[in-house]
Amino acid sequence: MNPVDPVQRPAQITNAVTLLWFSLLISLPSWYLAAERSPEPADPLATALSLGLLALFAWLNVRLSQGSRWARSATLVLTIAGMLLSLVAADEAVPPGLFETVLGDIDLLISLLALYWLYSGPGAAWFRSFES
């Protein structure tokens, strides 16, 4: 008998997914500000890629709330990749301002807390309950 009911989602998972939705929401001004400070006109491919990533993260959030283990893994990999990319010194003509930097830092901290909740305690047990 499995002690975790896959139907009953723990509050920790609900809170983590809510944080990830908030993270997605606060990333929107950062994308806008990055486009605004660019000296060149917006590249349609970059815009399409940004919108695609936005849609991907939204879809992953939905799948996380449904107990998808692969969505949890994909969220972890994408968050780590984004964190590593943000550490690489970008060759930008105009560096990000304080507001954009603070938003990015808050976004990262929120994402890391959400991931901690997805991979620890009741969150980890709930995802394990979906094993075949």
Name the residue with higher pLDDT: 124 or 88. 124
Q: Please tell me what DSSP assigns to residue 88.
A: S
* pLDDT per position as a tens digit, 9-25: 999 999 999 999 999 99
* pLDDT per position as a tens digit, 24-82: 999 899 888 877 877 777 788 888 988 999 999 999 999 999 999 999 999 999 999 98
Name the residue with higher pLDDT: 94 or 104. 104
Name the residue with higher pLDDT: 43 or 129. 129
> What are the structural domain ranges in the chain?
20-128
The pLDDT of residue 90 is 62
Q: Do residues 24 and 31 touch, judged by C-beta distance below 8 A?
A: no
The pLDDT of residue 23 is 95
pTM equals 0.85
**Can you say whether residue 126 is alpha, beta or left, with left for phi > 0 and alpha for psi between -120 and 50 degrees?**
alpha
User: pLDDT band at residue 1, thresholds of 50, 70 and 90?
Assistant: very low
Q: Do residues 61 and 20 touch, judged by C-beta distance below 8 A?
A: yes
Name the residue with higher pLDDT: 77 or 104. 77
Alpha carbon separation from 93 to 24, 32, 34 (Å, rounded) = 26, 16, 11
